[in-house]
Amino acid sequence: MSTINQPHFQNEEAAFQYLETLRWPTGPICPKCGVINHAYATKKPHVYRCAEKLCRKDFTVRVGTIFEDSKLPLHKWLFAFYLMCASKKGISSHQLHRMLDVTYKTAWFMTHRIREAMSGTGPGMLGGNGDPVEVDETYWGTSSEKPKGARGYEHKMKLVSLVERGGTKQTYHMPKVTAATLRPVLKAKVAANARLMTDEAKVYTKVGREFAEHGVVHHSAKEYARGDVTTNTVESSFALLKRGLYGTFHHVGEQHLQRYANEFDFRWNHRKTTDVERADAALRGIGGKRLTYKGFNLSLQ
């Protein structure tokens, strides 16, 4: 059977069974009191009631997740997760709107909630075993009007990525890329015993001394690797991000850029898994990450 024809993408009963098995492998977990496998099914479809005397709350597997209070059928949510995780360069909200038979506004908000589920930097600090951590910045779109005659990238949106070689990637949208703004991020996310790898930009010079080693490649001299000192890995990850931004999304508002970066970080960090495994990993991140219309900028950008 083709993956897209799986039962949990086609009907609600199978969708609930799939998500319950994934989220509750040892039995239902009450979102109110946290007790595991001490609940019983009610007469309402997919609704459980906590058996704890001080709780007795009704709940479903959607409560406390990005699916809570959503009027969309669960099987459409699961299919949207799969499509986003199986699309190597991302999938546009317009494409989801057509494939799921929902409005564009609904599809757009769905994609942002799925990106929220994908977010999360993972356990521990990068380079904790003395491994190389590559750091570099890239620029996208336009943050403000470029003054006439000005040079450089100050008018663009700025992203800084940290990639542990052979490990995970974390990207941060930053208002400015300076030594003062970079240092707190590097100190909070990169272990002191890591081997920091950067290009020759001066913003890394001072903070680089605070790590076990600071390897520098001199791109201005057309040097791209010197032994294992290189930033090729992080630059490769930028290529995937840019292909998605240019080829799939075209325009990304600055207020939403971090979520798009999170999506491509997630895709990079799970690049060696199958599409199904990647979708399951994203579904495991739905808990405690509700994103509602209230307070959310629905600019459709």
- What's the rounded mean pLDDT across residues 267-274? 95
- Per-residue pLDDT, 179: 96
Confidence check: pLDDT of 201 > 80 = yes
Last residue of one domain, picked from the residues 91, 118, 145: 118
> Is the model's pLDDT at 301 over the cut of 60?
no
Q: Within this chain, do residues 77 and 143 fall inside the same structural domain, yes or no?
A: no
- If asked whether residues 112 and 82 sit together in one domain, one would say yes
Average pLDDT over residues 162-171: 95
Q: Are 30 and 55 in contact (CB under 8 A)?
A: yes
| Domain annotation covers residue 283 | no
290 in any annotated domain: no
- What the block records as the tokens of 230 is 């290189």
Same domain, residue pair 182 and 246: yes
Q: What is the pLDDT of residue 145?
A: 75
Same-domain pairing of 237 and 185: yes
Residues 145 and 257 in one domain: yes
Same-domain check for residues 141 and 114: no
What confidence category does residue 87 fall into, taking pLDDT thresholds of 50, 70 and 90?
very high
Q: How many Å apart are CA 133 and CA 128, to the nearest integer?
A: 10
Q: Picking from 62-71, 146-155, 240-249, which range would have the lowest pLDDT averaged per residue?
A: 146-155
Number of independent structural domains in the chain: 2
Do 106 and 139 reside in the same domain of the chain? no
Q: For residue 198, give both structure tokens.
A: 């950067």
In a shared domain, residues 91 and 148: no
User: Mean pLDDT, the chain, as a whole number?
Assistant: 92
**Does the pLDDT value for residue 224 go beyond 70?**
yes
**Cα angle: 224, vertex 179, 256; to 5 degrees:** 85
In a domain, 10, yes or no: yes
Q: Determine the angle formed by the axes of helices 275-283 and 12-23, rounding to 10 degrees.
A: 80
| CA gap 221, 189 in Å, rounded | 30
- Please report whether residue 17 resides in a domain: yes
Domain membership of residue 73 as a residue range: 3-24+61-118
Residue 152: give its domain's CATH number.
3.30.420.10
Q: Does residue 293 belong to any structural domain of this protein?
A: no
In angstroms, the CA 190 to CA 162 distance is 8
pLDDT of residue 120: 80
pLDDT at 251: 85
Helix, strand or coil, per DSSP, at residue 214:
strand
Structure token digits, residue 122: 């993972």
pTM: 0.91
Give tens-digit pLDDT for 126-166.
Answer: 999 999 999 999 998 887 777 776 667 778 899 999 999 99
pLDDT over threshold 70, residue 299: no
